[in-house]
Chains A and B, each alone.
Chain A
């Protein structure tokens, strides 16, 4: 999938290589930012992304693997772990509506 409307997002998955470090950090940040919104935020390793993930967030260096492992999800790659505009766009779409576009394949 290449895009999803913010109102249809039910589950956001943050993925990293091990699913134990950076993804946990970013997921807890997102959970704080999305408190009150009807969205579940989870963290997983890039190899075990659940099928029901609507949006997958991961570093651009891992986006290819995420796309291969989660064909049914919109995969959004970000560059920086702190303050990245791609992450902010997902948060804004969930809160205020709008369309989230997946990062195109490299």
Chain B
């Protein structure tokens, strides 16, 4: 039997657990990215300092960020737990958080959406096979309706106030980092996490929701650019193109186009993983980019997803191009310099390559 030869699934690893948890968070956000982009475009154009200020269209901005986006997250979170019925009660439960909240309740939506769906799943388990024939629709509609109504009340009374404190504390923490010029050190955590395939978890699970809260007040946020900056990856690939192992060089130009223009950053992660010290190039490039963003007061209106230079240009607020482009260029330059030094300008690479071929 082939099962006998199957290797034991050793999935107690911390990395896999963090990846999985991060996958839940980003999995609630990423299917809804188009709505975030629509909101970002409307904000960039019709905001009072936008390209074409328009009060009537600007009226969309607050309801979209405060109601539509959290409800979509709660809906998707519910769907992950209990399909369409879970999605519906997840959306209803999120409304309980949304009403009367001064800031967008993304983290709260990530909790109550799946929780309400789980409650309905439990109730559905109780009623399963006990409904008299002909009463299925009545029972199913009302059980979901009642669970949804209670979940919304629970969200408004209990989860909302707690999450407001939590979100405010996180926002204060970010403000503290910004005021004390500590934000560039975030790269020390973000860049290694990124190449371990936690990129979506970091960006969509944590930084994006915080960024929207800031952006819906200030019209832009630097938090969207901490993980998504295409500069560091581009610099690393450029270093590989010029100084990497010869056998790898032919595929690098295509990787550069996919990473920088297409925004699929995953393509450069293997180049860092095959020579782990290259993460120093990513960290220094990322940190230099953040320093530049902060010095120029740069920010984007919404999450640039995927992290392509085109997404950056589309979501740069009016008059903000210099800082955004400077931060990307500085990050690429610094990563390229450090990366080239680490690659030993053509030396010291044969060992790494033969080892990586040995593993394949």
- Which A residues lie at the B interface, using CB under 8 A? 1-3, 16-18, 20-22, 25, 45-47, 59, 61-62, 64-65, 67-68, 71, 79-86, 104-106
- B323 CB, nearest partner CB in chain A, Å: 26
Distance between Cα atoms of A106 and B251 in the complex (Å): 27
Are A17 and B23 in contact, CB atoms less than 8 angstroms apart? Answer: yes
How far is B9's CA from A1's CA once the two chains are assembled, in angstroms?
12
Question: Main SS of the interface on chain B?
Answer: helix
Does residue B319 face the partner (Cβ distance < 8 Å to A)? no
Partner of A81, one of B5, B9, B270: B270
B20 touches A47 (CB 8 A): yes
Contact A20 B30 (CB under 8 A): yes
Contact of A1 among B2, B13, B27, B200 (CB under 8 A): B2
Number of residues on chain B facing chain A (CB within 8 A): 42
Shortest CB distance B257–A (Å): 11
Write out the residue numbers on chain A whose beta carbons fall within 8 Å of the beta carbon of B273: 61, 79
Query: Which chain A residue lies CB-closest to B26?
Result: A18
CB distance from A27 to the nearest CB of B (A): 13
Q: Is the CB of B267 within 8 A of A18?
A: no
Residues of B within 8 A of A45 (CB): 23, 27
CB pair A2 B200 closer than 8 Å: no
Q: Which residues of B contact A81 (CB under 8 A)?
A: 255, 258, 264, 266-267, 270
Nearest-CB residue, chain B, relative to A4: B2
* A residues near B258, Cβ cutoff 8 Å: 25, 81-82
Q: Which residues of A contact B196 (CB under 8 A)?
A: 61
8 new A-B contacts, CB < 8 A, other than A22-B264, A71-B6, A104-B7, are A17-B19, A17-B199, A25-B258, A68-B11, A68-B16, A79-B274, A83-B250, A105-B9
